[in-house]
Amino acid sequence: MKKIVECVPNFSEGRNQETIDAISDAIRNTPGVSLLDVDPGKSTNRTVYTFVGDPSAVVEGALNAARVARKRIDMRIHTGEHHRMGAMDVCPFIPVAHVTMAECVAISKEFARRAAEELGIPIYLYEESATLAYRKKLPQIREGQYEAIKDRIVTPEWKPDFGPAEFIPQWGATVTGARGFLIAYNVNLLSTPNQAHRIALNLREAGRGPEEPGYFNEVKGMGWYVEDYNLAQVTVNLNNYRVTPPHLLFEEVKEQAAQLKVGVIGSEIVGVVPLDAILLAAHYYIEKENLFVLEEDQKVRLAIERLGLNSVAPFNPKEKIIEYMIAQSPAEPLAGLSVRKFIQEVAKRSSAPGGGSVSAAIAAMGAGLGSMVAKLTLGVRKFEDVDAKMRTLVPPLHEAANALIPMIDADTNAFNDYVAALGLPRGTREEISYREEHLQQGLKKAIEIPLSTMIIGDQAWDAMVEVARHGNIASRSDVEVGARALEMGIWGAYKNVVINMADIKDEPYKKETLARAKALKDRAAEMSARVLDIIEKRLP
């Protein structure tokens, strides 16, 4: 799965359009980066850029932007309403998908090291990247702003984490680090601004002061009135949506609004949001309302409806959810083909796609047939007595079928890696060693993929057996075909494990992996026979 990191650098320039555009272009033209938003402010004389990419790409994007700022921004003549201390004032890195906070800490330090070395600028670390408690928060580091740097930076307490401990008048200093994703979130009220603020004080972490803290951690907020909407809002920053997600704050606002006899008419997300935050809301309402929703697009729609995200402006997932904004065509050239074209591709005079890809496709169809029968049984009045049972059987079959689809291409890709290693030079002893090492790696990858196909397929068996036992008997042939297809897919994957194992030199790995694969293959034969036997006994 693709790793996605967000970077939100703030630059001390919001008036010179040429400079704003030059920084935009530097980010936009960085390979692997998607520039999502550019938000300049004339009164603040500050522009906030939002872009995403994989870990290495976001570092390059931030460096490219900093290079432009180094040439074009002069802090000696900068004025504006927003607090600032540098040309690139702050540059946070935020984990969005399949990236840990620790990885983002490493990313921020890599950016800091390279920027300091190349541009000769002082850089401080903050938030999760901070090394000293007394300068963990941005206001602590930025105290006194640009004008105070000259005296502070030469003291031992304020020596930069990277770069020179000296005042660079044109630049100032930069703060970088890793932090959680901040969601700007508003709940709409048919109330006075005072009532909205009263609720906000109850909910925000600071509450009404040290003696009366609020309900939620990692929340900053207030109440205000929005003339454009003709309503009040509880407006908050959710500094860590995994601690306090939007749906929990929304539900608490509803409860408090009800006590004040105030109407709640939905909410809005300002800017972009990670898919994870939306799915957390969906799963909350699915559990709360005992709903049965499997598909991601339906979960997203449920969250949008329950949170009322369309109440003041359309919430278009493709324009608001980060993963959808940067979505590219899936790297599944085989799985994305029509059935006809896939078969024709297999039938060509080439070794890939071969048995491994076909086995994954067959196993996926087997699990899919089990899922189909369970879904056709679910919700049918005639089968109400097994409705609860079907609700537990659909998910593992549905998930197995979908998880097996990517294995179609993964198997071919793994084989291609091995073929690429075969072409490596072998003229010297070092080249021979290097080639052999990569051949072994390629073989192991070519083994791990079909083994993964077997493991994923195996996870469907228990549900398949129960569908045979309790599913609509009118669909018995679908269950039978599904069981045999799933068995055949696992058997085919097993054969791919065995054939690729022949040249493996790691004997402990070979012994352990073959034993595991054989156990999965034998269980598939056993479970398939059990399904067929159950169906046979259910017939009159």
CATH of the domain at 264: 3.30.70.670
**Type and span of the H or E element at 147:** helix 145-152
458 and 494 Cβ atoms separated by less than 8 Å: no
Q: Identify the residue whose tokens are 């879904």.
A: 375
Please count the residues of the chain: 540
Contacts of 33 (CB under 8 A, 6+ apart): 27, 51, 52, 53, 57, 58, 60, 61
Last residue of a domain, one of 178, 213, 246: 178
Q: Is 97 a member of any domain?
A: yes
If DSSP codes are grouped into helix, strand and coil, which group holds residue 16? coil
**Does residue 523 share a domain with residue 438?**
yes
**Does residue 430 share a domain with residue 487?**
yes
Q: Identify the residue whose tokens are 């935009």.
A: 24
Q: Give the end-to-end CA distance of the chain in Å, rounded to a whole number.
A: 48
* Chain center to CA of 413: 23
Q: What is the pLDDT of residue 328?
A: 55
Query: How many structural domains are present in the chain?
Result: 3
Q: Is 332 a member of any domain?
A: no
Q: What is the pLDDT of residue 329?
A: 47
**Amino acid of residue 116:** A
**Does residue 388 share a domain with residue 293?**
no
Q: How far apart (Å, rounded) are the C-alpha atoms in residues 49 and 12?
A: 11
**Does residue 138 share a domain with residue 108?**
yes
Tokens representing residue 322 in the block: 């980060």
293 and 282 Cβ atoms separated by less than 8 Å: yes
Q: Is 456 a member of any domain?
A: yes
Q: Hey, CA dihedral for 33, 34, 36, 39, is it positive or negative?
A: positive
Q: How far apart (Å, rounded) are the C-alpha atoms in residues 6 and 356?
A: 36
**Of 23, 29, 22, 32, the residue nearest 52 (C-alpha):** 32
Last residue of a domain, one of 178, 197, 226: 178
Q: What is the pLDDT of residue 331?
A: 58
CA distances from 267 to 133, 180, 186, 303 (A): 36, 22, 5, 11
Note down the domain range covering 481: 339-538
**Does residue 142 share a domain with residue 200?**
no
Q: Hey, CA dihedral for 308, 310, 312, 318, is it positive or negative?
A: positive
Last residue of a domain, one of 131, 156, 178: 178
**Does residue 155 share a domain with residue 13?**
yes
Contacts of 284 (CB under 8 A, 6+ apart): 245, 247, 248
Strands 33-41 and 88-97: unpaired
CA distances from 46 to 88, 111, 304 (A): 10, 21, 32
If DSSP codes are grouped into helix, strand and coil, which group holds residue 170? coil
**Does residue 297 share a domain with residue 345?**
no
Residue 186, beta-bridge partner list: 235, 268
CA distances from 54 to 326, 409, 455 (A): 11, 22, 29
**Amino acid of residue 491:** W
Q: How far apart (Å, rounded) are the C-alpha atoms in residues 325 and 303?
A: 18
Q: Is 331 a member of any domain?
A: no
**Does residue 43 share a domain with residue 30?**
yes
pLDDT tens per residue across all 540 residues of the chain: 578 999 999 999 999 999 999 999 999 999 999 999 898 888 889 999 999 999 999 999 999 999 999 999 999 999 988 889 999 999 999 998 889 999 999 999 999 999 999 999 999 999 999 999 999 999 999 999 999 999 999 999 999 999 999 999 999 999 999 999 899 899 999 999 999 999 999 999 999 999 999 999 999 999 999 888 999 999 999 999 999 999 999 999 999 999 999 999 999 998 889 999 999 999 999 999 999 999 999 999 999 999 999 999 999 999 899 888 877 545 578 888 999 999 999 999 888 789 999 999 999 999 999 999 999 999 899 999 999 999 999 999 999 999 999 999 988 887 777 888 888 999 999 899 999 998 998 899 889 999 999 999 999 999 999 999 999 999 999 999 999 999 999 999 999 999 999 999 999 999 999 999 999 999 999 999 999 999 999 987
**Does residue 151 share a domain with residue 191?**
no
3-state secondary structure 83-143: CCCECEEEEEEEEEECCCHHHHHHHHHHHHHHHHHHHCCCEEEEECCCCCHHHCCHHHHCC
Tokens representing residue 76 in the block: 């000696």
Q: How far apart (Å, rounded) are the C-alpha atoms in residues 357 and 335?
A: 9
**Does residue 396 share a domain with residue 346?**
yes
Question: φ and ψ at 220, to 5 degrees?
Answer: -115, 140
- Return the CATH number at 147: 3.30.990.10
Catalytic residues: 82, 411
Contacts of 35 (CB under 8 A, 6+ apart): 24, 27, 28, 49, 50, 51
CA distances from 356 to 94, 344, 347, 422 (A): 38, 16, 14, 20
**Of 246, 308, 302, the residue nearest 274 (C-alpha):** 246
Q: Is 334 a member of any domain?
A: no
Q: Is 422 a member of any domain?
A: yes
**Amino acid of residue 399:** E
Q: Before 139, cis peptide (omega within 30)?
A: no
**Does residue 196 share a domain with residue 310?**
yes
Tokens representing residue 244 in the block: 């306090």
**Does residue 315 share a domain with residue 174?**
no
Q: Is 387 a member of any domain?
A: yes
Q: Is 466 a member of any domain?
A: yes
Q: Identify the residue whose tokens are 């009220």.
A: 189
Q: How far apart (Å, rounded) are the C-alpha atoms in residues 468 and 393?
A: 11
- Return the CATH number at 465: 1.20.120.680
